[in-house]
Amino acid sequence: MNDEQVREYLDTLKQPPTSWQVEMIDEAIKDRIPIMERDGIDFLKQMLRLKRPDRILEIGSAIGYSALQMIDAVPSARVITIERDQARAKRAKYYFNRYNQDQTIELIEGDAFDVAEQVRYQGPYDVIFIDAAKGQYQRFFELYSSMLTDNGVIITDNVLFHGYVINAQTASKRIGNLAKKINTYNQWLVNQTEYDTEFFPIGDGIAISVKKP
């Protein structure tokens, strides 16, 4: 049995996406907006079901797909999500209103480094999900980890960056430089003594950092 056979078998066990998920996935593909891969989003949702957070902070809303998925996993939670791109923020708000989640999801427009005090006012957070500018992952972690509750969790997406963190030399100069930054973040992250961090080759790579008591 090879990895492809295992994947094909596991895919047969997945529930088909709902109509709203299909709509948002189609829009993301059409407009080339990056959203989490199916395996990654399923893993994230299962982690949230286990954690049962009251408050979640998401850094990087895009069109709101992940935020809606997180509420789908934990309907009792409240999500604060940050997006600096005006067009994407507008689409995210549209979807939050359309699917009656505008009271459970609050979108803060602006650069994550400019709106930190506004975000802090809404905290603290049981889970922080980092999925924004990949070259800034370490700065996001350093800035927002102070808003995490005791025993909180920081989840970082795209830590494998399509495999380029392993083979940066096979990419273009821009992509290769970004891959090196993500690799530097991964190395830094695993050495943070206040957190237990594990990396999972799911989706585009996910890091789970659990704050030590």
Q: Check the annotation: does 70 bind a ligand.
A: no
Q: Check the annotation: does 112 bind a ligand.
A: yes
Looking at residue 8, its pLDDT comes to 84
Whether the CB-CB separation of 127 and 51 falls below 8 Å is answered with: yes
Show me where the domains of the chain are located: 3-211
Architecture per CATH, domain 3-211, reads as 3-Layer(aba) Sandwich (3.40)
Q: Check the annotation: does 158 bind a ligand.
A: yes
- Cβ neighbours for 41, distance < 8 A, ≥ 6 positions apart: 66, 69, 203
Confidence of residue 7 (pLDDT cuts 50, 70, 90): confident
If DSSP states are collapsed to H, E and C, what string results for the chain? CCHHHHHHHHHCCCCCCCHHHHHHHHHHHHHCCCCCCHHHHHHHHHHHHHHCCCEEEEECCCCCHHHHHHHHHCCCCEEEEEECCHHHHHHHHHHHHHCCCCCCEEEEECCCCCCHHHHHHHCCEEEEEECCCHHHHHHHHHHHHHHEEEEEEEEEECCCHHHCCCCHHHCCHHHHHHHHHHHHHHHHHHCCCCEEEEEECCCCCEEEEEECC
Confidence of residue 92 (pLDDT cuts 50, 70, 90): very high
Looking at residue 171, its pLDDT comes to 63
Looking at residue 3, its pLDDT comes to 75
Confidence of residue 70 (pLDDT cuts 50, 70, 90): very high
Whether pLDDT at 5 is above 90: no
Give the C-alpha separation, 37 to 22, whole Å.
13
Q: Check the annotation: does 209 bind a ligand.
A: no
Give the C-alpha separation, 51 to 63, whole Å.
25
Q: Check the annotation: does 89 bind a ligand.
A: no
Q: Check the annotation: does 3 bind a ligand.
A: no
Q: Give the CA distances from residue 65 to residues 94, 142, 196, in Å, rounded to whole numbers and listed in that order.
A: 11, 25, 28
How does strand 195-200 pair with strand 206-211? antiparallel
Q: Check the annotation: does 72 bind a ligand.
A: no
Whether the CB-CB separation of 94 and 83 falls below 8 Å is answered with: no
Q: Check the annotation: does 39 bind a ligand.
A: no
